[in-house]
């Protein structure tokens, strides 16, 4: 009997060790099956193209396919809500942008999601925006635009894809930096705003690469790009920094996992994305689109979201941003 009493703890200890070793082996083997990457927007757009450019390479590095699933609707809420509710095992991840991590959590009480619901993986790329003006203003330089906006007998107006969008926040920030005030004209999307700008209905706007066709055809005047350096697709357009203006916009594409994914799995995901983004082919693809590769840490990703959230919240509290429909 004494022998059995002494043996029992040894057997229990051996069993516990076996379970621990099995769990460790399972984690070390991750991933053992394909990874689902949910893009909360329709196929063919910026986020979809960026994700499919990266996804195959990430899958090759991890040794399992990355399967992109477009699950659009409700401004990104439907797709990201599916990520939030997924098993916390790293086999379901999702795409995030400033709208879903910063502006919508602040401006839409029904959005119901925030960075706290996710574990950041990495910001993959930083997009660029460009300040474009109506050619009827007959200006070609940022300094001329600023002078007109300050001295005009009428207040300039600008378009955005909607009230409370990052374009809205960033244009108000630009007004503050340049020292003038303008009237906001919200549209239902960037396309209608660009068309009205080209036809002279509004004076200026901050736009994405969608504006390139208008710029190339002479229907819009490009004054400055918000990017770390000149972008390959608009080489003739100076950056705000070159012109001595301290102004950047919040434009990036990142990836997140449900909150609570094991740390070692997050580290593997971050390492795989970082390695993929450093491959020459992918870097060249993004340079050709005018985008800058970031590939930062989860901690830096979270810090950027928190800083942007504080900046946007201050603009709302001050009354500078009015969330009209």
What is the C-alpha to C-alpha distance for residues 265 and 25, in angstroms, rounded to an integer? 13
Contact residues for 103 (Cβ-Cβ < 8 A; gap 6+):
164, 165, 166, 169, 312
Q: Provide mean pLDDT across the span 218-226.
A: 96
CA 287, chain centre distance (Å)? 17
Residues 218 and 274 in one domain: no
Q: Is residue 17 part of a domain?
A: no
Residues 102 and 146 in one domain: no
Residues 108 and 194 in one domain: no
What is the C-alpha to C-alpha distance for residues 182 and 157, in angstroms, rounded to an integer? 5
Q: Is residue 142 part of a domain?
A: yes
Q: Which domain holds residue 96?
A: 34-126+251-318
Residues 160 and 222 in one domain: yes
CA 149, chain centre distance (Å)? 30
pLDDT at position 74 over 70: yes
Element housing 267 (H / E) = helix 263-277
Q: What is the pLDDT of residue 313?
A: 94
Q: Is residue 324 part of a domain?
A: no
The number of distinct structural domains making up the chain is 2
Q: 211: closest CA among 128, 273, 279, 113?
A: 128
Residues 78 and 164 in one domain: no
Q: Is residue 240 part of a domain?
A: no
Choice between 123 and 290, residue whose per-residue pLDDT is larger: 123
* Beta carbons of 182 and 156 less than 8 angstroms apart: yes
Residues 216 and 291 in one domain: no
Q: Which of helix, strand or coil describes residue 44?
A: coil
* Beta carbons of 225 and 239 less than 8 angstroms apart: yes
The one-character DSSP state at 184 is E
pLDDT at position 23 over 50: no
What Å distances lie between residue 132 and 88, 181, 251, CA to CA?
43, 17, 17
Choice between 45 and 53, residue whose per-residue pLDDT is larger: 53
Residues 63 and 104 in one domain: yes
Residues 116 and 198 in one domain: no
Q: Provide mean pLDDT across the span 208-232.
A: 93
Residues 150 and 101 in one domain: no
Q: Per-residue pLDDT tens for 111-144?
A: 999 999 999 999 999 999 999 999 999 999 999 9
Q: Which residues pair with 239 in a beta bridge?
A: 225
Q: Per-residue pLDDT tens for 138-166?
A: 999 999 999 999 998 889 999 999 888 99
What is the C-alpha to C-alpha distance for residues 317 and 311, in angstroms, rounded to an integer? 10
Residue 144, domain CATH: 3.40.190.10
Q: What is the pLDDT of residue 148?
A: 95
Q: What is the pLDDT of residue 22?
A: 42
The model's pTM: 0.85
Residues 64 and 98 in one domain: yes
Q: What is the pLDDT of residue 45?
A: 83
Which of 211, 226, 241 is a domain's end point?
A: 226
Q: Is residue 8 part of a domain?
A: no
Q: Is residue 279 part of a domain?
A: yes
Residues 188 and 110 in one domain: no
Q: Per-residue pLDDT tens for 196-206?
A: 999 999 999 99
What is the C-alpha to C-alpha distance for residues 250 and 103, in angstroms, rounded to an integer? 10
What is the C-alpha to C-alpha distance for residues 248 and 227, in angstroms, rounded to an integer? 7
Residue 257, domain CATH: 3.40.190.150
What is the C-alpha to C-alpha distance for residues 219 and 156, in angstroms, rounded to an integer? 19
For the chain, what is the mean pLDDT? 90
Q: What is the pLDDT of residue 322?
A: 81
Which of 169, 193, 226 is a domain's end point?
A: 226
Residues 146 and 195 in one domain: yes
């Amino acid at each position: 009997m004494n022998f059995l009493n002494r043996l029992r703890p040894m057997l229990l200890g051996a069993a516990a060790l076996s379970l621990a070793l099995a769990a460790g082996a399972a984690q070390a083997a991750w991933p053992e099956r394909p990874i689902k990457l949910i893009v909360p927007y329709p196929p063919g757009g910026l986020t979809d193209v960026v994700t499919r450019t990266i996804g195959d390479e990430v899958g090759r590095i991890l040794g399992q396919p990355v399967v992109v699933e477009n699950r659009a609707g409700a401004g990104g809420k439907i797709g990201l809500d599916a990520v939030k509710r997924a098993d916390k095992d790293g086999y379901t991840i999702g795409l995030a942008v400033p709208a879903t991590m910063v502006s919508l959590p602040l401006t839409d009480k029904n959005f119901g999601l925030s960075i706290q619901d996710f574990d950041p993986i990495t910001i993959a790329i930083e997009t660029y925006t460009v300040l474009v003006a109506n050619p009827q203003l007959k200006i070609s330089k940022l300094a001329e635009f600023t002078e007109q906006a300050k001295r005009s007998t009428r207040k300039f107006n600008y378009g955005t894809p909607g009230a409370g969008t990052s374009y809205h926040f960033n244009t108000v920030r630009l007004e503050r930096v340049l020292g003038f005030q303008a009237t906001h004209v919200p549209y239902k999307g960037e396309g209608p705003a660009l068309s009205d700008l080209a036809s002279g209905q509004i004076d200026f706007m901050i736009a994405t690469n969608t504006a390139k066709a208008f710029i190339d055809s002479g229907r819009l005047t490009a004054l400055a790009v918000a990017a770390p350096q000149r972008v390959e697709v608009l080489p003739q357009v100076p950056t705000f920094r070159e012109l001595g203006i301290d102004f950047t916009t919040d434009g990036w594409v990142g990836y997140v996992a449900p909150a609570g994914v094991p740390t070692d799995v997050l580290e593997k995901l971050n390492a795989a994305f970082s390695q993929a983004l450093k491959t020459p082919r992918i870097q060249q693809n993004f340079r050709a689109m005018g985008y800058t590769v970031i590939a930062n840490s989860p901690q830096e990703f979270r810090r950027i979201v928190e800083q942007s959230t504080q900046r946007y919240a201050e603009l709302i509290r001050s009354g500078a941003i009015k969330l009209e429909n």
